[in-house]
Structure 1
Amino acid sequence: MLESPHIEVLLDVKTKLGEGPLWDAESQRLYWIDSADGRIFRATQDGCELRSWDVGEAIGSMAVSRDGSYFLAALRTGLYRIDVSSGHRELVVDPEPELPNNRLNDGKVDRQGRFVFGSMDTLEEQATGRLYSYTPDGQLNTLDSGIVVSNGPCFSPNGRTLYFSDTWTGEIWAYDYDTANGQTANRRTFATVDTSTGGAADGATVDAEGYLWQALVYGGKIIRYDPDGTVDRIIKTPVLKVTSLAFGGADLDTLFVTSMARPPLPRFPEDGQQRGSLFSISGLGVRGLPEPRFGA
């Protein structure tokens, strides 16, 4: 049975657009990003040993390499390798050189070490975004297209279902995911989000029981969905602009939640004093799954 959660500010770093929390089980460190400022952050479970890397441009998501020597980062202009020691960056591939108004956004590593990530229209109006997969041997594959804002890629515990959102459609999609070749099929609506109340689907993760957790950005809520797509639980957050979430900590039972201090466009709402903070939620009574590193 789920318990009453305890929500606290772990770090008040005032990220303009906090996103992409990632708990790396091997190093026992939490990573997250400031998409707008172009920074990667790292800290311990209790918020100590804070370090950051300036990546030089807007960043949508990142992964840790298999050996831990570099980050694979989805930046505005393409996928880059960023050396952990020096911060030096090297372009791996630019998927969309013909779309200057797009940028790369949310991403996750599948159980086989591929990086699945999406792109988006920076004005969040045109359906010019795509969903991609980048393999450890350097192959870039397009999985879907016609997307406005790519968000929330995550996988079922067995890795054979990919969940993904185009934020302003009001839908969370599920795909059959072929773990052997990384291809998708049978896209269907997993759940719908009522965007008329001001909230929209943002970052997501799946727990060890196969339930999907999603941040409702601008709505100040976290929603837990049953594997059949019904709402199981709703948690209100201290800020409206909650952006993404990931289970972590030594026992994978703490939910780390990012938020934004400044809305990316004037039409989006402002927020309270704790805007831009990194939150931790404990006492949920569930655990997450360890996130894979990128690479074979």
Structure 2
Amino acid sequence: MRIEVVLDVKTTLGEGPLWDVVQQRLYWIDSFDGRVFRSTADGRELRCWDVPQKIGSMALRKDGEGAILSLERGFYTLDFKTGEVTLIHDPEPNLPRNRINDGKVDRRGRFFAGSMDTMEENASGALYRLDPDFSVTRIDSGMTCSNGPCFSPDDKTFYFSDTWTGDIWAYDFDINTGSVSNRRAFVMADMSGGGGTDGSTVDAEGALWNVLVYAGQIVRYTADGKVDRVIEMPVKKVTSVMFGGPNLDILYVTSMAKPPLPRFPGDGVLRGSLFAIHDLGIRGVAEPRFGA
């Protein structure tokens, strides 16, 4: 195994690595500075788009050069050619302290994203599904900091977490309707090192990889919830993971340069870097695009 720095861009709150198999390009975001980045697998051809609010996650669209964004005040579209950002829907206009956070697309082109309390204190967050026709459905609630949505390779299980509970949940997932049911504990993460469950991805073997933010660890759980391996990162404030590269065998890892709240710890000189982990001997699955 080999860990390298792809780009030291000092993202204030780097998040959401997203490898697109069509373009063979890597996307990621800076949640606090409101930026979307794109580069080649090795960090060349860096491009950046500014967005007008804090950003929690993104999904590429099937229909042209654009993306779906979960921003502070709802779901938006981004036109890569013009940079124009357009509101789709704000599901929480009555919750000004909330913002939409982490999200992923299922293999029918629907975008699932959860909201969070920006002070990370109240369980005011919820989980939403944005369909290709831009309709929005609330499918669960009661989260403080929604994180880590992802889908099993067989499309039968949806995973989701609430960062500071340590819970990673599994739901029964109906790929035909986009509905979830039977929420249950998948794992209770070991938070003794001071971390919390952040971004997740699923590999081709059906195992789940989860980042323990502030603990500087990435944990691989088998499909039955057992810890398979733990990777110690060179910084503590790692935030999210996704497999990418031409063979989908590079694990990309985002990190933050500055903690969002004063009570969280600082970090070393590589804080805010985008990392790549090579030679894991495991491949990921292609991330779907949004749309029918």
- Tell me if both proteins adopt one fold, taking TM over 0.5 as the criterion: yes
Runs of 5+ in structure 2 lacking a partner? none
Matched, 1:262 2:258: yes
Matched, 1:112 2:123: no
Matched, 1:197 2:193: yes
Matched, 1:47 2:17: no
The equivalent position to 2:7 in structure 1, one of 11, 14, 27, is 11
Aligned-residue offset at 1:193: 1.2
Cα separation, 2, equivalents of 1:230 and 1:272: 31
Aligned-residue offset at 1:158: 1.2
Cα separation, 2, equivalents of 1:200 and 1:86: 37
Aligned-residue offset at 1:57: 1.1
The equivalent position to 2:236 in structure 1, one of 214, 229, 240, is 240
Structure 1 counterpart of 2:227: 231
Quick one: which amino acid aligns to residue 171 of structure 1? D
The equivalent position to 2:285 in structure 1, one of 263, 266, 289, is 289
- TM-score, L = length of structure 2: 0.99
5 Å-filtered alignment, 1:1-296, equals 5-296=1-292
Aligned-residue offset at 1:54: 0.2
Quick one: which amino acid aligns to residue 203 of structure 1? G
SS in 2 for 1:195: coil
Quick one: which amino acid aligns to residue 283 of structure 1? D
Quick one: which amino acid aligns to residue 265 of structure 1? L
Cα separation, 2, equivalents of 1:101 and 1:12: 31
Cα separation, 1, equivalents of 2:161 and 2:64: 29
Cα separation, 1, equivalents of 2:111 and 2:272: 26
Quick one: which amino acid aligns to residue 16 of structure 1? T
**Partner deviation per Cα, 1:11-31 (whole Å, 9 max, x = no partner):** 000000000000000000000
More displaced 10-residue stretch of structure 1: 67-76 or 182-191: 67-76
Aligned-residue offset at 1:139: 1.8
Cα separation, 2, equivalents of 1:67 and 1:248: 22
Runs of 5+ in structure 1 lacking a partner? none
Cα separation, 2, equivalents of 1:85 and 1:264: 31
More displaced 10-residue stretch of structure 1: 226-235 or 133-142: 133-142
Aligned-residue offset at 1:204: 0.3
**Partner deviation per Cα, 1:60-118 (whole Å, 9 max, x = no partner):** 00000003321100000110011010100110000100000000000000011000000
**Partner deviation per Cα, 1:143-186 (whole Å, 9 max, x = no partner):** 11010000000000011100000001111000001111111100
Cα separation, 1, equivalents of 2:161 and 2:278: 26
SS in 1 for 2:52: coil
Quick one: which amino acid aligns to residue 146 of structure 1? G
Identical-residue share of aligned pairs (%)? 62
Cα separation, 1, equivalents of 2:193 and 2:80: 41
- TM-score, L = length of structure 1: 0.98
Cα separation, 2, equivalents of 1:223 and 1:196: 14
Q: Which runs of 4+ in 1 moved over 4 A?
A: none
Cα separation, 2, equivalents of 1:266 and 1:247: 31
- Output the aligned Cα RMSD: 0.6
Cα separation, 1, equivalents of 2:247 and 2:66: 25
Aligned-residue offset at 1:138: 2.0
**Partner deviation per Cα, 1:10-63 (whole Å, 9 max, x = no partner):** 000000000000000000000000000000000000100000000011000000
Aligned-residue offset at 1:194: 2.4
Cα separation, 2, equivalents of 1:241 and 1:159: 30
Number of residue pairs matched by the alignment: 292
Cα separation, 2, equivalents of 1:106 and 1:30: 17
Quick one: which amino acid aligns to residue 185 of structure 1? S
Cα separation, 1, equivalents of 2:43 and 2:11: 15
